Amino acid sequence: MTPLNNLQFMPPALNKLIESFRLLPGIGPKTARKLAFSTLKMSTDQVKEISESLLDIKTQLIFCESCQNISENKNCNICMDENRDNSIICVVEEFMDVYVLEKSGAFKGKFHVLHGSISPANGIGPDEIRIKELINRVNNIPSIKEIVIATNLNLEGEATAMYINQVLSTKKDKLKITRLARGLPSGSDIEYADETTILHALGSRVNINESI
- Asked if 98 and 113 count as a contact pair (C-beta separation under 8 A), the reply is yes
Fill in the per-residue mask, 63 to 92: x = in contact with Zn ion (CB under 5 A), - = not in contact: -x-xx-x------x--x-------------
Q: Which CB atom, from 67 or from 88, has the smaller least distance to Zn ion?
A: 67
Residue 14 dihedral angles phi and psi, to the nearest 5°: -70, -40
Q: Distances from the Cα of 89 to the Cαs of 3, 10, 102, in angstroms?
A: 60, 52, 13
- Residue closer to Zn ion by CB (options 66, 151) is 66
How many residues belong to the site for Zn ion (CB under 5 A)?
Answer: 6
Smallest distance from Zn ion to CB 74, Å: 9
Q: In the Cβ-directed half-sphere of 84, how many Cα atoms lie within 13 Å? A: 19
DSSP 52-87: HHHHHHHHT-EE-TTT--EESSSS-HHHH-TTS-TT
In the bound state with Zn ion, the residue whose beta carbon lies nearer, of 130 and 205, is 130
Binding mask 30-69 for Zn ion (x = CB under 5 A): ----------------------------------x-xx-x
Tell me whether residue 128 or residue 133 sits nearer to Zn ion (CB atom): 133
The contact set with Zn ion (CB under 5 A) reads 64, 66-67, 69, 76, 79
